[in-house]
Amino acid sequence: MTTTRFAPSPTGRLHVGNIRTALHNWMLARKAGGRFILRIDDTDAERSREEFVDAIREDLEWLGLAWDAEERQSERLERYDAAFAALRAAGRIYPAYETAQELELKRKIQLGRGLPPIYDRAALELTDDERAAKEAEGIAPHWRFRLDHGEAITWEDGIRGTQKFDPAQLSDPVIRRADGSWLYMLPSAVDDIDMGVSQVLRGEDHVSNTAVQIQMFTALHAAQFAAQHDGTGPVPAFAHEALLIGKEGKLSKRLGSLGCDTFRERGIEPEALVALLARLGTSLPVEPIADRGALLETFELSTFGRAPAKFEDAELERINTAIVHHMPFEAVRPRLPHGMDEAGWLAIRPNVHTVAEAQEWWGLVTGPIAQPDFTPEDRAYLGEAAQVLQWSENPWAGLTDALKERTGRKGRALFLPLRQALTGMDHGPDMGELLPLIGEDEARARLARAAQG
């Protein structure tokens, strides 16, 4: 079964890049009839907050990305300890004692010599006595995963194609801090094994991490860490999508502040955000498609490009407006102002960019409205309009036809003063739909008031 996962750290709100990753993993699972797992990567006890866990759930629910299972890394620490012990027994983990300052100095020296800043494995050269001496000094070790410098690490990436890394050109990654806390690499690999994750779709900034984790998967299986495998267990299929960039054409810090809370405040519909992010960075056109099924039908990793995907507010707002213009009354009913019925929504809908704007437009119906100053000629015209107004199935057409015949006015001179007197605005909803909502008595009163000046 296809199983994907979204694994956010609860150290802040989800931003647009996280949302895109979650969406694509959800789509990958749903299209294959598989499972989508929400995994809360909360091993960083100091920075993780329960309020952010709640916010992550709330955001995914708002987006309509239902998950089939939820896991918490903080509840799986025994599994990571077991993996650590298995890898250490297999000689794939070793202690290192350099401080952050010492490591930084080494990197600077290597860069100064034109060499890649790769860890030099000095800790592997320490004797037992030297290690004991450091620990006697109170220096607790951090722990590194020892990469196998044999064959190249290769995989067929679902987006980037064939990938090949020389492990000798990668640093042995730190997997556990001196205080015993975990970094990302090993717990993630353990979880993917235990949870049967078959496909990992994430940003291209994780490509080198994938090379390292492929060796971790192999080492864990070889150590027969996973009971369900015999030492030759499968490695997930990997795909790495291009990162989002802002309008300015480079990675934007602003994208890190764009989250579901921000989009909700702006009146963006979840369907609009999904429609944009589902196809952003692919060869498919970005369209205002509210039907998830239609988006799933066309979702293919083969359509993803290698170029950075540009996220633009203007495009999101365009899609949002188009989707709002097709939203049925029942879908928006709880969010509409008191008293607005289906006829009111249908009349106002073509003029709003967000559902929240219905409140402002509904004020044209409920009043009061501020009318402009009219010329003496227009006041006389509006006074005549108040007299000839007759209620019918289409009072607007009846009113304008009668005034055209009686006054000879046409075009802007015929329609604009009436709209201004009845709504206080120069533009807006179709008056043929709006006037019945205003009602006969109120419409006549507004015309009369405009005639008096």
Binding-site residue numbers for ATP are: 253
* List of domains in the chain: 245-324 (1.10.1160.10), 329-365 (no CATH), 367-452 (1.10.10.350)
Is the pLDDT at 229 greater than 60? The verdict is: no
Check: CB of residue 70 under 8 Å from CB of residue 38: yes
- CA separation (Å) from 403 to 383, 386, 419, 428? 11, 10, 14, 21
326 burial level (CB within 10 Å; 0-12, 13-18, 19+): exposed
Is the pLDDT at 231 greater than 60? The verdict is: no
Binding-site residue numbers are: 253
Is the pLDDT at 68 greater than 50? The verdict is: yes
Type of residue at 394: N
Residue 1 DSSP label = -
Which of these, 406, 383, 392, lies nearest to 440 by C-alpha position? 392
The pLDDT-based confidence of 230 (bands split at 50, 70, 90) is very low
pLDDT in tens, 341-384: 999 999 999 999 999 999 999 999 999 999 999 999 999 999 99
Joined together, the tokens standing for residue 256 give 């890190």
- Cα gap 114→393, rounded to integer Å: 83
Question: What's the pLDDT score for residue 249?
Answer: 64
CB proximity list for 182: less than 8 A, separation 6 or greater: 43, 73, 77, 80, 175, 176
Q: For residue 46, how far is the Cα from the chain centroid?
A: 25
Consecutive H or E run containing 310: strand 309-310
The share of the chain scoring above pLDDT 70, in percent, equals: 97
Using the structure block, give the residue that is written with the tokens 């490509």.
207
Is the pLDDT at 26 greater than 80? The verdict is: yes
- Cα gap 36→7, rounded to integer Å: 11
